[in-house]
Amino acid sequence: MGKGGATLAAADKAHFRRTLLRWYARNGRRFAWRETHDSYEILLAEVLLQRTQAPQVGANYGRVLAAFPTPEALGRAQLSQVREALKPFGLAKRAPTLWEMGSHLSDRFAGGVPLAVADLMSLPGVGRYIASATACFAGGVRTPVVDTNVIRIMSRYFGIESERRRPRDDPWLWRLAESLLPRQRFIDFNRALIDFAAIQCKARKPDCPSCPLLRRCLSAHCFIPDPDQ
């Protein structure tokens, strides 16, 4: 179903919200960057998490943070030091961007981290997803976080698809994600989407039989093997 034909009832959205929050209460993952409100620590984690598995970042995050505990420390470091710190988990190519980000934070924001999405997006290597995640998780800003994984869940459950070549840049999907946010527990909800995509609604071999959204998911039948075949 394309977006033009998608009719998302308020009751369906409410069920989606409630179910994901209940699932998250039992299955949510714990990471060091979820145990802090420090905006730099959260931004650093979000940059490292881009196109990288969370457990992989989790195993190395503490060491990177210890080496560069502040934006000033990151900006003052030698590029070779940043590259060396990122090498163990395959992110050495991201070193120049991370180093530039530290310099920008030091020079333009006096060593602080802005919490406005537009300001965050002005930093090297920070797109809308990282900016929104940082604003939400560090600043308590009620904003959605939309990436390929979140889009996958919404597309499967609601039976929608973007008409854009890069769906993550589709304003319509961002508006849909915003309409799903609860008024209060939006941080938990955004994290629930992230964890649900990683654990339950995986890109390949999603665990549909045990999915709490199975009954109303418009795509579930596509992934459940036919017992008669």
pTM over 0.85: yes
10 phi and psi angles, rounded to 5 deg: -60, -35
- Amino acid identity of residue 123, one-letter, is L
- pLDDT value, residue 120: 98
Long-range contacts of 23-28 (CB under 8 A, 24+ apart): 23/192, 23/196, 23/200, 23/212, 24/188, 24/189, 24/191, 24/192, 24/195, 24/196, 27/195, 27/199, 27/200, 28/188, 28/191, 28/192, 28/195
Listed by start position, the domains of the chain span: 3-29+143-220, 32-139
- Percent of the chain exceeding pLDDT 90 equals 86
- pLDDT value, residue 226: 53
The model's pLDDT over 201-222, given as tens digits with 9 standing for 90+, comes to 999 999 999 999 999 999 887 7
As a whole number of angstroms, the distance between CA 218 and CA 229 comes to 22
- pLDDT value, residue 209: 94
- Most confident residue range from 21-35, 154-168, 208-222: 21-35
What's 226's DSSP letter? P
Domains 3-29+143-220 and 32-139 share a fold: no
Architecture of the structural domain at 3-29+143-220: Orthogonal Bundle (1.10)
Position 54 pLDDT exceeds 90: yes
The CATH classification of domain 32-139, taken from the options 1.10.340.30, 3.30.470.10, 3.40.50.1220, 2.102.10.10: 1.10.340.30
Q: How does residue 89 score in pLDDT terms, banded at 50, 70 and 90?
A: confident
Helices of type H across 109-219:
117-121, 128-139, 148-158, 171-180, 186-199
- pLDDT value, residue 15: 96
**Mean pLDDT throughout 181-207?**
96
- pLDDT value, residue 137: 98
Q: How does residue 1 score in pLDDT terms, banded at 50, 70 and 90?
A: very low
**Mean pLDDT throughout 186-208?**
97
The model's pLDDT over 98-157, given as tens digits with 9 standing for 90+, comes to 999 999 999 999 999 999 999 999 999 999 999 999 999 999 999 999 999 999 999 999
**Mean pLDDT throughout 50-71?**
95
Position 229 pLDDT exceeds 70: no
What average pLDDT does the structure give for the chain? 92
**Mean pLDDT throughout 83-101?**
94
Q: How does residue 225 score in pLDDT terms, banded at 50, 70 and 90?
A: low
- pLDDT value, residue 74: 97
Q: Measure CA 141 to chain center.
A: 14
- pLDDT value, residue 165: 86
What's 61's DSSP letter? H
